[in-house]
Structure 1
Amino acid sequence: MTTGIRAIVVGMVANILLSLFKFAGGILGNSVALVADAIHSLSDLVTDIIVLFTHRIGKIPQDKNHPYGHGRAETIGTTLIGLLIITTGIGVIHETWGAVAGAPRQTPGILAASAAMLSILINEGLYHYTRRVGETTQSPSLIANAWHHRTDAISSIAALVGIIGASQGFHIMDPLAGVVVGCMIMKVGFDITHKGVRDLMDTALSDEHTQKIHSVLKNIPEVLHFHDLRTRVIGGEFLIDVHILVDPEITVTEGHRIAETTRRNLINAIVNIHDVLVHVDGEYDADVEGIYPVTRKELIDIAIPLISELDNNISQPEIRVHHIKGKNIVDVFIKIDPSQSMESSRTLVADVKIKLETAPQIDRARVYLDLTP
């Protein structure tokens, strides 16, 4: 049994015992607020079952059909828990409102107060235990369930206040406390549901996380600029997509190294990152068309015959193609006869450059002498 499953089972057993104890204490101790609190504890048992189901699915490793894993199941579970908490709060208010408008009831006794006090202590302990496990396992459904335990503790405090007030002669305080409990339950349910829906809608990370991402990217010297930053949350884990701008003259392998450095720096700097996708740009693609109409093969097929026209003795040159700011740039590395003079070499370089730039597809040619043997 994993630590997450163990925390859920502990909560289920505690909720069953607390529900029975508070029902008995509320009925025998004449406290409407405590009965309302017992209903809340019973609703915890339903959410525990949901958490148990969604938590187990969410921890299933990624597979062919779910390349991002199954973490979204936990987000769905979190949302369902929030909706159930809201429903519970509405039910509690409905049940206790009749007592507010009805005839005065018997004064709650010491049994009701003792049950409320015990509920406060147990539920606060469950809250800290479940939340710690949820944060350790990065489980949003466990964290949501922990807050459900906290609402039980808070509602028990409200019930205890109502019981004490009623015992001092303010009989309306007990059912009013039940209404307050219902409102507090609804508020917590709304907050949990809101967070779950945000994650289901792929809402971006908080401003704090976004600023941390910006800081990491700005501290990578080779990253000249970054844009199109997109973030989302799946099952408590973060997914990040970002475009980085690098020097257009670097090699593909160097660009890959910069991208990998960016990915690892973000993962090391921010907890809960599941994956980072880095797109490398050699230019800011918002300013120019990202897809150039001519391919590398086409440019080489144009350049080779033009070079051969000048000197058939030039061996197969190495050609590199760059697409920068809407221009097609061709770098040519040619080997020459070692006995050839420097003057004739300069003339050859100039002639090759001029010849290549006569082609309409080549906007700029850069010619280099390859002096390797």
Structure 2
Amino acid sequence: MTQPNHLELPERERLLKLATYASVTVAFSLIALKSGVWMASGSVSILASLIDSLMDSAASIINLFAVRYALKPADQEHRFGHGKAEALAGLAQSAFITGSALLVLLQGIDHLVNPQPIAATWLGIGVMVLSIIATLGLLAIQKHVIARTGSTAIGADALHYRSDLLLNGSVIVALLLASYGIQRADAVMGLGIAVYIGYSAVRIGLDAIQILMDHELPDEVRTEALALARAVPGVLDVHDFRSRQSGHLWFMQMHVELPADMPLLEAHELGESVRTALVERFPQVDVLIHTDPV
């Protein structure tokens, strides 16, 4: 889990919209190109790439709406904000990607059993090269946005597009081999791509489930947070530390041990000192502190 830089909401919103709009634009452009080439060639590997782009577009549209919803501030019905909409988008992407993997797998098995000649191979190779260039450009944008925001939804989208680079490279290899008469190479590559897409779907789904199940923040973050709290002068110890993530927000809860004879006002101020120390180090964190007399 990458710790994002602290951003004001308008800047975070601008970056997330940039990534989602770029993803939708690239996905629909590649669909148009790959559809024409697949109809001309009949290649299973190009069909695999086309289906993958269709899933990309569906996932990108889901991301577009999920990110916009996740950016809404907390309200009376959602006191912890709407950040988990990003994780739900990641889970939906996992389902879409799994569906695409199954479709490609079935087509690959059919063409492996009944190999068919492939036409317009060089046209297909040209489109795959364009796909790689467009994907690299999109990944550069997504990498910048993830580093600044730590968005789960954009991270899931980027994982899928990184797998597209391997997918498009495999399609080029399959088409080159088919041009030399090795027809089953196209089906074999299609099957390999389907397996890899399925693996990516599992990774995306597990990451989303961890957030939805309120998985603890990374060990290094928790260790540092505990050290910061215990370093505040007057704090005897800290226990029952709990944490979770919701979109770009982190939540921490802890029991801070203070001397039993400390006045209430002083205990409150000391608790605020602990909260301030944590917020200064992790600007995206919301801290709840319970003081225990010792």
State whether TM-score is above 0.5: yes
Aligned counterpart, 1:177 = 189
- Structure 2 contact 149–248 (Cα < 8 Å) conserved: no
- d(CA) in 2 for partners of 1:253 and 1:27? 75
- Structure 1 contact 121–153 (Cα < 8 Å) conserved: no
Aligned counterpart, 1:368 = none
- d(CA) in 2 for partners of 1:131 and 1:48? 16
Higher Rg: 1
Amino acid across the alignment from 1:214: L
Aligned counterpart, 1:159 = 171
The Cα offsets for residues 308-365 of structure 1, whole Å up to 9 and x where unpaired, read as xxxxxxxxxxxxxxxxxxxxxxxxxxxxxxxxxxxxxxxxxxxxxxxxxxxxxxxxxx
State TM-score, norm by structure 1: 0.71
Amino acid across the alignment from 1:278: I
- Structure 2 contact 115–183 (Cα < 8 Å) conserved: no
- d(CA) in 1 for partners of 2:173 and 2:248? 36
Count of aligned positions: 282
Aligned counterpart, 1:195 = 207
The Cα offsets for residues 262-304 of structure 1, whole Å up to 9 and x where unpaired, read as 112122223632x010111112xxxxxxxxxxxxxxxxxxxxx
Aligned counterpart, 1:18 = 30
Partner secondary structure for residue 241 of structure 1 = strand
Aligned counterpart, 1:265 = 277
Partner secondary structure for residue 221 of structure 1 = coil
- d(CA) in 1 for partners of 2:143 and 2:284? 16
Aligned counterpart, 2:148 = 136
The Cα offsets for residues 144-185 of structure 1, whole Å up to 9 and x where unpaired, read as 222222222221122122223333443322111111111111
1:220 and 2:216 are equivalent in the alignment: no
Alpha-carbon shift at residue 190 of structure 1 (Å) = 0.9
- d(CA) in 2 for partners of 1:99 and 1:141? 35
Aligned counterpart, 2:82 = 70
1:103–1:162 CA distance, 2 compared to 1 (3 A): closer
Amino acid across the alignment from 1:162: A
The Cα offsets for residues 83-123 of structure 1, whole Å up to 9 and x where unpaired, read as 21122112211122211111342366211111112111211
Amino acid across the alignment from 1:9: Y
Partner secondary structure for residue 64 of structure 2 = helix
1:83–1:236 CA distance, 2 compared to 1 (3 A): farther
Alpha-carbon shift at residue 27 of structure 1 (Å) = 3.5
- d(CA) in 1 for partners of 2:64 and 2:261? 54
Partner secondary structure for residue 234 of structure 2 = coil
- d(CA) in 2 for partners of 1:43 and 1:127? 17
- Structure 1 contact 30–109 (Cα < 8 Å) conserved: no
- d(CA) in 2 for partners of 1:108 and 1:224? 74
Q: Quick one: which of 282, 285, 292 aligns to 2:293?
A: 282
- Unaligned 5+ residue runs, structure 1? 284-373
Amino acid across the alignment from 1:102: N
State TM-score, norm by structure 2: 0.89
1:220–1:26 CA distance, 2 compared to 1 (3 A): same
- d(CA) in 2 for partners of 1:132 and 1:140? 14
Partner secondary structure for residue 74 of structure 2 = coil
Aligned counterpart, 1:42 = 54
- d(CA) in 2 for partners of 1:212 and 1:108? 58
Alpha-carbon shift at residue 212 of structure 1 (Å) = 2.0
Alpha-carbon shift at residue 60 of structure 1 (Å) = 0.7
- Structure 1 contact 61–70 (Cα < 8 Å) conserved: yes
1:101 and 2:74 are equivalent in the alignment: no
Aligned counterpart, 1:250 = 262
- d(CA) in 2 for partners of 1:107 and 1:66? 55
- d(CA) in 1 for partners of 2:233 and 2:218? 25
**Overall identity of the aligned pairs, in %:** 26
1:91–1:208 CA distance, 2 compared to 1 (3 A): farther
- Structure 1 contact 223–244 (Cα < 8 Å) conserved: yes
- Structure 1 contact 127–147 (Cα < 8 Å) conserved: no
- d(CA) in 2 for partners of 1:65 and 1:135? 30
The structure with more helix, counted as a fraction of residues:
2
1:28 and 2:35 are equivalent in the alignment: no
Alpha-carbon shift at residue 43 of structure 1 (Å) = 0.9
- Structure 1 contact 240–277 (Cα < 8 Å) conserved: yes
Amino acid across the alignment from 1:74: E
- d(CA) in 1 for partners of 2:110 and 2:284? 47
Partner secondary structure for residue 250 of structure 2 = strand
Aligned counterpart, 1:350 = none
1:155–1:271 CA distance, 2 compared to 1 (3 A): farther
Amino acid across the alignment from 1:282: P
The Cα offsets for residues 203-246 of structure 1, whole Å up to 9 and x where unpaired, read as 11122222222332232232211111111111132110010111
- d(CA) in 1 for partners of 2:220 and 2:241? 14
